[in-house]
Amino acid sequence: MTASLHRLGAGSPAAVYYTNDSQREARPDRRDEYYLSDGGGVWWSSGETVVRHGAVIDAASFRDLCAGLDPATGRPLVRGAGPGHWAGVDCTMTPGKSVSVLWMAGTSEQRAAIEAAHRTAVERALSFVTAEGLITVRTGAGGKEQHRPHDLIVGRFDHYTTREGDPNIHTHCVFINVAGAPANAGAGRYKSRTHLTIEPERLYAAQLGVGAAYRAALAEGLRERFGLRYREAGRGQWEVAGLPETLLQAFSKRSEQILAYAGTGASSAQREIAALATRRGKEELPTGPELEARWRAELGACAIDPWLAARHPEHDPALVMTVERDRETPFDPAEIPGDGAVARAASALFRHESVLARKDLLQRALEVAGLAGIGVDAVEAELAQLERDGTLLPLADAVMVLGASACWTSPGIAACEAAMLRAADRPLERVWITPAAVENALEHAPHLSPEQGEAVRHAAGRDGVSLLQAGAGTGKTTTAAALVAAARGSGLRVIGLAPSWVAADELGRSTGIPAQAIARWRQDRTLTAGPDTAHRPDCPALLDAETLVLVDEAGMVATRDLEAVLSAARSAGAKVVLIGDRRQLASVGGASALRAVADVVGRSAVLEQVRRQTVEWQRAASVLMARGEVEAALRAYAVRERVELVAGTEAAQARVLAVWSEQRAAHGEDVLIVTRRNADAAALNIRARAVLRTEGYLGPDVVILPARDRDDRPVPLALAVGDALRFGESLPHLGVRNGNRARVEAIMAEPEGGARLRLALKDGRALEAAWSDLAQQPRFGRKRPPPRIVHAYAGTGYAAQGRTSSAAVMYVGAATDAREIYVGLTRHRHEARVVVERDRLDALCRQRQEDAQVPATDAMVLERLFREARTYSEKVNVVDHAADRVAFVRDGSLGTREPIGQGIDVRRVIRAARLLRETVAWLGVEPLIMPTWRLVDAYGRRLTQAPARAARALVDELARRLSRTDPLLERERGHHIER
């Protein structure tokens, strides 16, 4: 159930599939017929400049428009019309298999009603494309200017079966590469053009949203007509509740065929290529009554009445589980109150983002609406109401949708981010760590480089919040240890915080300070609040003016967590040092909190000299990645034959294990396997256990126990003596942290069918417990779930970040980005290799080719991989959209959305401010430099007043170094100042 996109070929030949093909993909009662000579489709037009909306398509007109020609005159409508003109894009809209099964099993009246609901849903989805401006036209030099077309022309072709003869309602919507030129686009060489070619990139980007709009409209229509209910079917899709999965699979032979060819977990591009590769000729299929008889026989073999099952959705176990889950009270309150589709969608998205883009919110809301049988109009109405009452705060105007918003935040998130930035704004507050203590600590750490020494001096400065940005492998832990020594030499108490227990434990081990996960620290602050806490001065949750807080992996800390830390520190007068890397994996929670704080603080110490890698060119590649040049670094690995392309998932994963074995033989057992998806990690763990068993390092499986995987799904877990395990949740009653690793030393079977394990934890502790005790203690009388434990030979980038190993092999089996490659290629000391599943990238290359059957070359596949390596998915902060950043930090005011004033080159002002900062830093001035936004507001119309103390100290220092009289002091004395 989706809206799949396919790029057509060039000229009138691209129309052959739709105009000259047989009716074998049309209605089963006309299977022997061909499309009529005057066409078998219907035109959809938003402006009727060339064709009439709702008119029947004739073959000649369709062929002419595919070639960019006017059907009435034969003259070119657009530049480049003719045989080489790109014909357009096919957006195929298909419901879930349950809808087609109900249509197949229905009476003539039921079939007609389903067909009508499907056509109405297609119409609504096309209107959604037009309203959201997903198809544009370009004008101006180089086609830089985008416009909404005056007339969008679509050829609609309704089909009802698959290539295997299964029931499958779907409509091909062919967006013709000819669109009516808007009135405001007539300039230059486009002045005389009434029509322009289309630009579908926004449609590709919003493909899932278009499918969600279609499904929501269809769900509404079927609910109103038949009273149907729906269950989740994965990836935001739904099926009619009550129809069992076995019935749907019986009529999904084409899907099973594609799945068998492409493999489980295949991308949409791979499935599209598989569909082309396995497509059979329609002339081989049965026709008319013969096909209807086959359907009746297959339905009889299932012994299920689809319509009767649909009338009793309460028997559907998937729907029952969904209802039970919705009844549970969530641990965290929803960000947006209410049960509407938009409110529920926004609350889900706000768990991971602080700013919601229009495309993402509409897609998720429409998916939620489809499950509830609510249409597109209700979603749009709810969104408008949430804007009006201030529940959703609009931050920017949509480019292609007049009067609409491009993104939103919530009042609570905006207030939290503003409070975080205020708490970070503590320049030159006082001296916590004395210069003498800093120099003494550096004298006792001769192994530190000059770069690390300067980082310690900066972090120990007078700012209440200091930043230490450290790339992977640059020695941040040894730098932090020297800072801790200096702080203790000044009489400070030092505590450590991190976004995870694994990072907190590592910080504690490397620096010798008590460290906690931030979530636990926040919980402890809540529990210890009150007058009876004065007798607990050593509690990490309690801060005072003689405390230094080190926050490690600060780039992964969410806004709410960082605000809690910074606000508590400011209130207590404690100093905070944030240690992190903005270019590694971002926080799971919303926004890029470290980036926002860095803008407020103004400058930071930077560690760039890589020490982890022993090979010089690999150290250089790590430096490039820390600077954001991940593509260049990956190219270096490819040039030195450290990147392998392997076709097929099975072969690629087998190669990963072969490389893993080679690395273990050369560098010892401390070798990481890093991948992106939990499913890939699980598959690689199974293969790794087989390899270890062959090598004699792992015994036979002793027990198979119930567990939960990384996605919190119930799975069987086979265990053998010697197995490496990873805990997926904290177990306070056993002193186990989320992310801790252990090795199985003994397995004792229990009479009741369970088992008792003796484990050796990585931190040196021994643990013996029953399997059932290795799960969290249930609360509120709930049943204890199975342990959340997985094998630990392969893991995701999030599990690997912060770890160091002798060697590493990175498996790229799904779409990746710069952050993940950066993490995957900087864990090792001696060697790193990359194994890439080739078919996924090959399919992406073919998807945009005119002939998708032609395989891509290795060079093309590598270039596609390099394209992914330069993609950074940086999360957006609310302050990025504030009209006046100073006002936002001061009181959370977002201001009005206005364009930058004319006549002011804001980019030049920013460049000048950066040069000023570098110059004063070179002069050795204390860290007084103001962020650019402190001096120039977002309008570029005026200079704002910088904080008085910092500005005065800056002028004093500059005047002293230049041997000049302080002009501010002279002015205060009433003296005349010479210019």
Q: What is the pLDDT of residues 21-41, one digit of tens each?
A: 444 444 444 432 333 333 478
- Tokens linked to 135: 């198809």
Q: What is the pLDDT of residues 945-970, one digit of tens each?
A: 444 555 556 556 666 655 655 544 45
Rounded to whole angstroms, the Cα distance separating 883 from 196 reads 36
Rounded to whole angstroms, the Cα distance separating 687 from 682 reads 9
CB contact burial 915-943 (16+ within 10 A = b; e otherwise): eebeebeeeebbbbbbbbbbbbbbbbeee
For 837-858, what is the mean pLDDT? 81
Q: What is the pLDDT of residues 705-762, one digit of tens each?
A: 999 998 888 999 999 999 999 999 989 889 898 889 999 999 998 877 789 999 999 8
Could you tell me which residues come within 8 angstroms of residue 384 by beta carbon, excluding any fewer than 6 positions away?
none
Which pLDDT does position 667 carry in this prediction?
95
Q: Is residue 833 a contact partner of residue 642, using CB atoms and an 8 Å limit?
A: yes
Which pLDDT does position 272 carry in this prediction?
63
Which pLDDT does position 265 carry in this prediction?
67
Which pLDDT does position 955 carry in this prediction?
59
Q: How far is it between the farthest Cα atoms of the chain?
A: 106
CB contact burial 63-78 (16+ within 10 A = b; e otherwise): bbbbbbbbeeeeebbb
Which pLDDT does position 105 carry in this prediction?
94
What is the share, in percent, of the chain residues with pLDDT greater than 70?
A: 81
Q: What is the pLDDT of residues 457-478, one digit of tens each?
A: 999 999 999 999 998 889 999 9
Which pLDDT does position 37 carry in this prediction?
33
Look at residue 480 and tell me whether its pLDDT is greater than 50. Answer: yes
For 292-304, what is the mean pLDDT? 90
DSSP annotation of 605 reads E
Q: Is 298 helix (H, G, I), strand (E, B) or coil?
A: helix
What's the Rg (C-alpha) of the chain?
A: 32
For 389-416, what is the mean pLDDT? 92
Q: What is the pLDDT of residues 239-255, one digit of tens each?
A: 999 999 899 988 887 76
The average confidence (pLDDT) of the chain is 84
Which pLDDT does position 788 carry in this prediction?
94
| Residue 781 CB neighbour total at 10 angstroms | 5
Instruction: Give all strands (DSSP E) within 604-712, no chain letters.
Output: 605-607, 643-646, 671-675, 703-708
Which pLDDT does position 3 carry in this prediction?
73
Q: What is the pLDDT of residues 604-637, one digit of tens each?
A: 888 889 989 999 999 999 999 988 899 999 999 9
For 343-364, what is the mean pLDDT? 95
Please give the model's pTM, rounded to 2 decimal places: 0.83
Q: What is the pLDDT of residues 883-895, one digit of tens each?
A: 888 888 888 888 7
Which pLDDT does position 288 carry in this prediction?
75
Phi and psi dihedrals of 592, rounded to 5? -105, 80
Q: Who wins on pLDDT, 958 or 513?
A: 513
| Residue 381 CB neighbour total at 10 angstroms | 12
Which pLDDT does position 738 carry in this prediction?
87
Give the helix ranges, DSSP H, for 696-805.
797-800
Which pLDDT does position 188 carry in this prediction?
52
Which pLDDT does position 941 carry in this prediction?
37
Look at residue 943 and tell me whether its pLDDT is greater than 70. Answer: no
Confidence of residue 183 (pLDDT cuts 50, 70, 90): confident
Rounded to whole angstroms, the Cα distance separating 471 from 582 reads 9
Q: Who wins on pLDDT, 277 or 378?
A: 378
Q: What is the pLDDT of residues 650-692, one digit of tens each?
A: 999 999 999 999 999 999 999 999 999 999 999 999 999 999 9
Look at residue 368 and tell me whether its pLDDT is greater than 90. Answer: yes
Weakest mean pLDDT among 199-203, 743-747, 900-904: 900-904
Which pLDDT does position 440 carry in this prediction?
96
